[in-house]
Amino acid sequence: MIDRQLLAVAVTAAQRGGEVLRRHFGTLTPGQVSEKAHNDFVSAADRASEEVIVSFLRAETPEFGVLAEEGGASGSEGARWVVDPLDGTANFVRSFPHFAVSVGLVERDEVLVGVVYDPMRDEMFAAAAGAGAWRNGRRLAVSGRAGLAGGFMTTGFPFRVHHMLDLYLDIFRDVFLQVAAIRRPGAAALDLAHTAAGVFDGFFEFCLSPWDIAAGALLVREAGGVVTDLDGGPGIFAHGNVVAAAPGVHRELLALIHARCGEGDVRPEPR
């Protein structure tokens, strides 16, 4: 079982980043927001949050490396903190209060610790491998839904991979016709956290980055859910394709998706 002190470090780091985001929320000027790529935004708040988080993690755990969305990789190539200082930047810059901080400790593609913090609701989702998942101290469990029928699902549009849009829309239609509702809130880390909490019955998205999914994937697994790639394997970091759900929902959702595509069909565009 992972050292509880490492989970406490991750929680504190996420809280510190969240404090920065609360201070910046609703105050950004146009000059404080830019595009890293088409429709992929970064703001002064992302950078300030990341600086606070990474500085704290390096001071508390110098033995670990860091992979952060804005600053890239540094330090040890073994176990490393995987950090998204602001998941849901597009929401944030338009003053839509749905975004999060995500901090995970990953070693050889295994997530050991994961936290997702929603600073606007002051909700801390935290998990450690083998120790369960929690929201503000209450144990989490995925929904008990047996399959897609009646399901409340969440997803994210593939804005980074426009060449996958037609395939995604085919899958979206297939899922839509099987479930009660689909939502697209705009922050993958929170989608996964809410799936772990049983708010959503399942989540799927293409071509995400490690910092989008590391912590949230552990939350779902530790809450009793299943998280795989499009082939049903554990390698979600290879291409960033994620199917996460309660077990029965996952089985039906994966079969529906796999009827359209597999891992070999959905890959990020070369950079």
Residue-wise pLDDT for 41-96, tens only, equals: 557 888 899 999 999 999 999 999 999 987 888 877 789 999 999 999 989 988 99
Angstrom CA distances, 58 to 48, 52, 53, 185, stand at 16, 10, 9, 32
Model confidence pTM above 0.85: yes
pLDDT computed for residue 102 by the predictor: 98
**Domains assigned to the chain:** 4-139 (3.30.540.10), 152-263 (3.40.190.80)
Average pLDDT, integer, range 165-194: 97
The half-sphere exposure of 112 on its side-chain side, counting CA atoms within 13 A, is: 20
To the nearest 10°, the Cα dihedral for 240, 250, 124, 43? 30
pLDDT at 39 over 50: no
pLDDT at 12 over 60: yes
For residues 140 and 142, give the distance between their C-alpha atoms in angstroms, rounded to a whole number. Answer: 7
